[in-house]
Amino acid sequence: MENGSMKVLLDVQDLPRAYYNIVPDLPSGLPPPLNPATREPIGPEALAPIFPKEIIRQEVSQNRMEPIPEELREAYLRLGRPTPLYRAKRLEAFLGTPARIYYKREDLNPVGSHKPNTA
């Protein structure tokens, strides 16, 4: 970014291989999900009829880094990921901020390309 460029594109080999899970870094963790009928805490087994097994595993994980399956990384590449970041220099100037502000043009991606983000 030092060269004054307004566009940042992540190289394919730099595509992340793991997600960061904030839960292990929270001071008191997260409360368990509640049964909507009883308002009592429920365990992972109660979520199985609603969510895929892998989502539940990630949800209850205490690992700081969760590996991204290779199949998903390949899907990201097929769907135009990683999406470039653009620097909003005029917005920075308008706000009079020393902060660097970036945005992503997700509207340029194919329809449905957001779905691997929740896989």
Domain ranges of the chain: 1-16+69-119, 18-67
pLDDT tens figures, 76-98: 777 777 778 899 999 999 999 99
How do beta strands 85-87 and 65-67 pair? unpaired
- Residue (of 70, 69, 53, 49) closest to 61 by Cα position: 53
Residue 35 has pLDDT above 60, yes or no: yes
Q: Which residue has the higher pLDDT, 106 or 32?
A: 32
Q: Looking at the DSSP assignment, which residues form a beta bridge with residue 49?
A: none
All residues at 6 or more sequence positions from 28 whose CB lies less than 8 Å from its CB, including other chains: none
pLDDT confidence band for 34 (50 / 70 / 90): very high
User: pLDDT value at position 16?
Assistant: 86
